[in-house]
Chains A and B, each alone.
Chain A
Amino acid sequence: MIQTSIIAWILRAVQFGTIIMFGSMGEILTEKSGNLNLGVPGIMYLGAFSGFASAYLYENGTDNPIGIVCILLALISAFLAAAFGGLIYSFLTITLRANQNVTGLALTTFGMGVANFFGAYLLQGEVYTAAPATNAAFTAKIPALSSIPVIGEAVFSYGFLAYAAIALAIVMHWFLNKTRTGLNLRAVGENPGTADAAGINVTKYKYLATVIGAGISGIGGLYYVLDYNNGIWATTGQIEALGWLAVALVIFTTWKPLSAIWGAYLFGLLYWLYNFLPKLLGATDVERTQSLYQMIPYLVTILVLIVVSMRRKRESQPPASLGLAYFREER
């Protein structure tokens, strides 16, 4: 009984963590270029909606939807739509030098609006619509390995995107710390004036990091709908909360992709605490305390912020020019 409970908790936590891991991975890439994109929730909405819509339309337009086509269609459209959100943000903040915070918040509202507006066409008055074939493709478990008792259930029974997230974190760590391009990108976020003088094209780096970063964040939204939410377009309001958690996770990891792996799962465990902890403790009055438990990831983030600012370790600080527009000192 307890074992089943714990495994169920881990399952939920890992899936939950995967959503915000994608979200924050994209945001880490973006912030490394000095752009503080608070449009993550909106971008995840765009990714979620486009991914779902393309899969849904494909499934309804063909008799025998093919799994791999579902996956590619959904992934590509989610990435492109979210990257488009990043492009809007880049154009406004890099080219027009608009305020990053305001632009980001506006993008969040924009993404939510677009997704819910067009979502209404998909729903056609129903409570939800589903893309079952795509859902099946995304959630397909690893054969054999997933049937090992306990370990198989807890470790090998997720859709491929959960493993892709881990791989992505490792690749990003390698990219940021071990390649020339990564070094240049970090320099852009730390001190764009220095990067510029060193011959790095600051504008290009900022655009690319922000657009690709937004695309990666968008995959988080896609994962939410097509895997975590069982391929159903409904109750999408949660994407926004997840988007903010992804932003919080960026701070929690102190801008390190590798820490995002365990950080995301920890957030998942903490988020789902409300469902499993009272049961494990044998508490009965679950309904009323639920919101209190759901608050915990945010509390932890606040604590981490306090600890990070107290330790004052230079490597744990945000990129030095995060949130600032760059322009050469033209007179």
Chain B
Amino acid sequence: MENMHTSDAITLKGITKSFGTKVIANKNISLSIRRGEVLSLLGENGSGKTTLMNILSGIYYPDEGQVFVGGKEVAIRSPGDSFALGIGMIHQHFKLVDVFTAAENIVLGLKGHGKFDLKAVGEKVRAICERYGFDITPEQKVYDMTVSQKQTLEIVKVLYRGADILILDEPTAVLTPQETEKLFGVIREMKKDGKAIVIITHKLHEVLSVSDRVSILRKGEYIGTVDTKDATEISLTEMMVGKKVTLNIDRKVPVNPKKRLSVQNLSITGEDGIKVLDNITFDAMGGEILGIAGISGCGQKELLEAIAGLKIVDAGSSIDFIEPDTDKPDSLIGKTPRQIKEMGITLSFVPEDRLGMGLVASMGMTDNMMLKSYEQGKSFFVERKQPHDLAEEIKGDLAVVTPSINTPVRRLSGGNVQKVLVGREIAAAPAVLMTAYAVRGLDIGTSYQIYNLLSEQKDKGVAVMYVGEDLDVLIDLCDRILVLCAGKMTGIIDGRTATKEQIGLLMTKTSHGEESANV
């Protein structure tokens, strides 16, 4: 074992893992994780990063290959084995029980020694929090926590178990830039303590800012490891995608933008009496992309649904569609989607929940196309010809990978599902196109394809609304960016001059008056 480094915390040799006979998630992967170092595991969705780390956390067992922890070969057959070796994984989807307190979540599954004493657990948790400056209390219930606190709890959980090898699976996906910086601070602190840290991510700038080395996977195969100091965004992307990709969004200056949608004093009160949206006022212009930024769950979904006629709004709200030819405002308040359509207004909506609200998972492309047109037929039988042609067209134009246009869409990959949905919505030649998290879970190539489709729509004069989570993309793609924070609009800024920090501040701004001065 001549290439085994003395400070290696974990060495993987020839790891192969397949699911069924067809999907090889990991193919002959060898890499090492060192103490006192941050290793980024970079790769597109489906490249096998999470599978590989789940092998270390005991969720999966490899078909072939060896795992060495601290130089000794080990077999990790369960999450319990993994803890015992000092490996702690912080999952992308938090593994927390909502109705439990922080302390209860921390001791979950631990083998007992003597009396079950939550108070003693609390004391130890407080000590860890003090050491790293975490802001959670052991008695706090998880359902009362912010996303960032939940993540902190996940970290405390593995530290409590004495982990010195930490694996973080896409830890920044749900954090604001400020929270991300704080997390990176913690990671650097842990690194100083001599812990080995692995970050799974596909955000290149984060890789460059926090890690010491980068290992790249592509389609289940190990491509290589580079020192971060020698890497650039371009070189990493090439390794990740396997070919040269241009990461450019062609953002043209809006040509003659015209007011298309006027939203005024829009408020929505949720079931529990809390305002999900509070007095939102803005215009969406034809020929421009209006970005909507905010921590998830701040009213983005409700805003789009209100415009689409899917949510009941409070009295005093107004949503007007301005007709392109006559400039006549038509109120959309109190109208169902069908009524809006009958008024001759085409609103297209790409919802966040693609296989729930967007498409019927068990139906093929043709039938999903038909959802938009079935009521147009005059005869007793449904008209299948047009939807069939449309499905073929979308399959060809957007390069949808599917065995047949009648294959249930749930069997397609996330990117292809999104192409089907976006394709259908664009085919309706909308006046307003609303998208929520259009690229979530998509690989870089497909993401840029979607961005360019949206830009094309904008150039055609469509008013595009883009709810996004990646601030870098929002800044590159959108002409204006509306920022929501807990249902309130905290600002609309120019996409060309906006900075991430500026948006991040608006995303977390509370309603205190004095802070609004520096917008």
Q: In this complex, what residue of B is CB-closest to A328?
A: B59
Residues in B neighbouring A155, C-beta threshold 8 A: none
Give the chain B neighbours of A153 by CB distance below 8 A: none
Q: Choose from A179, A180, A187 the contact partner of B97 (Cβ within 8 Å).
A: A187
B412 at the interface (CB under 8 A from A): no
A111-119, A133-141, A195-203: which lies at the interface: A195-203
Whether A197 contacts B116 in the complex (CB less than 8 A), given A184-B109, A187-B100, comes out as no
Q: When the two chains form their complex, are residues A190 and B99 in contact, meaning their CB atoms are under 8 A apart? A: yes
Interface locus among A84-92, A102-110, A312-320: A312-320
Q: Which residues of the partner chain A approach B112 to less than 8 Å between Cβ atoms?
A: 180
Contacts of A180 in B (CB 8 A): 107, 110, 112, 116
Smallest CB-CB separation from A316: which chain B residue?
B99
Judged by DSSP, the binding face of B is loop
Q: Is A126 close to B, CB under 8 A?
A: no
Bound CA–CA A310/B417 (angstroms): 37
B155–chain A nearest beta-carbon distance, Å: 15
Q: Is B109 in contact with A179, judged by CB distance below 8 angstroms?
A: no
Interface footprint category on A = 20 to 34
Q: Which residues of A contact B23 (CB under 8 A)?
A: 331
Instruction: Answer yes or no: A330 CB below 8 A from chain B CBs.
Output: yes
Does B374 sit within 8 A of A, measured CB to CB? no
Docked Cα-Cα span, A122 to B15, in Å, equals 64
Among A179, A184, A186, A314, the residue within 8 A (CB) of B141 is A314
* Known contacts A183-B104, A193-B95, A194-B96: A331-B109 contact under CB 8 Å: no
Residue of B nearest to A331 (CB): B19
**What is the bound-complex CA distance between A28 and B91, given in angstroms?**
30
Within 8 A of A (CB), among B118-169: 141, 143
Using CB atoms, name the residue of chain A closest to B104. Answer: A183
Knowing A179-B116, A312-B272, say if A320 contacts B108 (CB, 8 Å). Answer: no
Is B78 among interface residues, defined by CB-CB distance under 8 A? yes
Q: What residues of chain A lie closer than 8 Å to B97, measured between beta carbons?
A: 186-187, 190-191, 194-195
Which residues on B sit within 8 Å (CB–CB) of A199? 58, 78-80, 83, 109
> How many A-B contacts are there with CB distance less than 8 Å?
71
Q: Is B32 an interface residue, CB under 8 A from the partner? A: no
CB distance from B349 to the nearest CB of A (A): 29
Known: A196-B79, A199-B79, A199-B83. A187 touches B108 (CB 8 A): yes
Bound state CA distance, A330 and B19, in angstroms? 7
CB of B98 within 8 A of chain A?
A: yes
Q: Which of A179, A194, A331 has the most CB of B within 10 A?
A: A194
**With A180-B112, A184-B109, A190-B100 as contacts: A197 and B19 at CB distance below 8 Å:** no
How close is B273's CB to chain A, nearest CB, in angstroms? Answer: 11
Interchain CB contact under 8 A, A197 and B57: yes
- B25 contacts chain A at the CB level, 8 A cutoff: yes
Q: Scan A214-254; emit 1 where CB is below 8 A from any B CB, else 0.
A: 00000000000000000000000000000000000000000
Size category of the binding interface on chain B? 20 to 34
Is residue A288 contacting chain B, with contact meaning CB distance below 8 A? no
Flag whether B356 is at the interface (Cβ < 8 A): no
CB pair A315–B20 under 8 Å, yes or no, is no
Q: Which residues of the partner chain A approach B109 to less than 8 Å between Cβ atoms?
A: 184, 187, 195, 198-200
Chain A residues whose CB sits within 8 angstroms of the CB of B59 once the complex forms: 196-197, 328
State in angstroms the CA–CA spacing of A184 and B108 once bound together.
6
Complex Cα gap A314–B99 (Å) = 7
User: From DSSP, what is the main secondary structure of chain A's interface residues?
Assistant: helix
Which A residues are in CB contact (< 8 Å) with B79? 196-199
List A148-191 residues whose CB lies under 8 Å from chain B: 178-180, 183-184, 186-187, 190-191
A179→B117 CA distance, assembly (Å): 9
CB of A190 within 8 A of CB of B98, answer: yes
> Which chain A residues lie closer than 8 Å to B100 at the CB level?
183, 186-187, 190
Q: Which residues of B contact A190 (CB under 8 A)?
A: 97-100
**CA distance in complex: A200, B95 (Å):** 13
State how many angstroms separate the Cβ of B412 from the closest Cβ of chain A.
15
Q: Once the chains bind, are B98 and A191 in contact (CB under 8 Å)?
A: yes
Q: Is the CB of A198 within 8 A of B98?
A: no
B81 shortest CB reach to chain A, Å: 9
| B78 close to A314 (CB less than 8 A) | no
What is the minimal beta-carbon distance from A22 to any residue of chain B, in angstroms?
Answer: 26
Given A178-B116, A190-B100, A314-B143, check contact A197 B95 (CB 8 Å): yes
Flag if A194 contacts B95 (CB, 8 Å).
yes
Tell me the A280-331 residues at the B interface (CB within 8 Å). Answer: 312, 314-315, 317, 320, 328, 330-331
Look across to chain A and name the residue whose beta carbon is closest to the beta carbon of B108.
Answer: A198
Q: Which residues of B contact A187 (CB under 8 A)?
A: 97, 100, 108-109
A179 to B23: give the CA distance in the assembly, Å: 42
Given contacts A199-B78, A200-B109, contact A191 B96 (CB under 8 A): yes
Nearest-neighbour CB distance to chain B for A43, whole angstroms, equals: 27
B47 to chain A, nearest CB (A): 14
CB distance from A148 to the nearest CB of B (A): 40
Closest to A193 in B: B95
When distances are taken between beta carbons in the complex, the residues of chain B under 8 Å from A186 are: 97, 100
Could you tell me the distance between the alpha carbons of A57 and B143 in the complex, rounded to whole angstroms?
55
A320 and B98 within 8 A (CB): yes
Contact across chains for B108 and A195 when beta carbons are under 8 A apart: yes
Give A180 to B97 CA distance when docked, in angstroms. Answer: 15
Within the assembled complex, what's the spacing in Å between the Cα atoms of A324 and B152?
29
Whole-angstrom CA separation of A194 from B104 in the bound complex: 12
Q: List 17 A-B contacts (CB under 8 A).
A: A186-B100, A187-B97, A187-B100, A191-B96, A194-B96, A195-B97, A197-B91, A198-B79, A198-B110, A199-B83, A200-B108, A314-B141, A328-B59, A330-B19, A331-B20, A331-B23, A331-B25
The interface of chain A, by Cβ under 8 A from chain B, is 178-180, 183-184, 186-187, 190-191, 193-200, 312, 314-315, 317, 320, 328, 330-331
